[in-house]
Structure 1
Amino acid sequence: MGLFEKLYDEHEKVQVRFIGFTTEETRYDFGIVYTNMFFGKPLIVCMQTGRSALLDPADLDNIEYLQTAFHINETKQAADLVEFFKSELPIIPFQPQYD
């Protein structure tokens, strides 16, 4: 047996959206990767910090998760992001990862 045991190796053409916007206090630049992996949740990447998270609309109910994922100290900034993502993330049904 080799040093590594491959768990998965998927190739997929995905849609990626890059979006920059500002709030009263902050500028944001995100990449949103729409994929069938990760239970259908989009991968959100902060282009400024490189931090990323898998998010769907249900995750936005937990503002602390968003603060932790993107290292946001200010609750107002996190609330602004929640508002933005609520209007931008698609509502998708749960997709089983391992069939």
Structure 2
Amino acid sequence: MEVFDKLYDEHERVKVRFVGFTTNHARYDFGIVYTNMFFGKPLVVCMQTGRSTLLDPNDLEDVDHLQTTFRIQDKERVLDLVEFFKDAIPGVPFNTQYE
């Protein structure tokens, strides 16, 4: 007897980028998983806290979401992250830009 209904079980070769950087305010270490899952949104993982989120360029406009997700205290630090993610997050669907 099955205890659960499997919704998906996918195997995929993905590109992963690990990046550490500093700003005038803090140090950051992220893993970015570029995948075709999740509507092409990369999975962004903070390697310091384990907190993660899916991001696309439109999500970068929601500064409050980033601040809450990564538990960042002030807006200036969040804006530093937005600037970084603008270059790191693809502007077109992953499968057409990175394959």
TM-score normalized with structure 2 length: 0.90
Amino acid in structure 1 at the alignment position of 2:76: K
CA RMSD in angstroms, aligned pairs only: 1.5
Q: How far is the alpha carbon of 1:43 from its aligned partner?
A: 0.3
SS in 1 for 2:12: coil
- 1:83 and 2:83 matched: yes
Alignment of 1:1-99 (within 5 A): 1-93=1-93
- Does structure 1 conserve the Cα–Cα contact (< 8 Å) formed by 2:23 and 2:80? yes
- What is the letter of the counterpart of residue 20 of structure 1? G
- Using the alignment, how far apart are the partners of 1:40 and 1:90 within structure 2? 9
Structure 1, unaligned runs of 5 or more: none
Taking structure 1 as the reference length, the TM-score comes to: 0.90
Runs of at least 4 residues of structure 1 off by over 2 A?
Answer: none
Q: Report percent identity of matched pairs.
A: 66
**In 2, Cα distance between the equivalents of 1:32 and 1:83?**
15
Going from structure 1 to structure 2, the CA distance change for 1:77 and 1:36 (only over 3 Å counts) comes to same
| Distance across 2 between alignment mates of 1:39 and 1:46 | 21
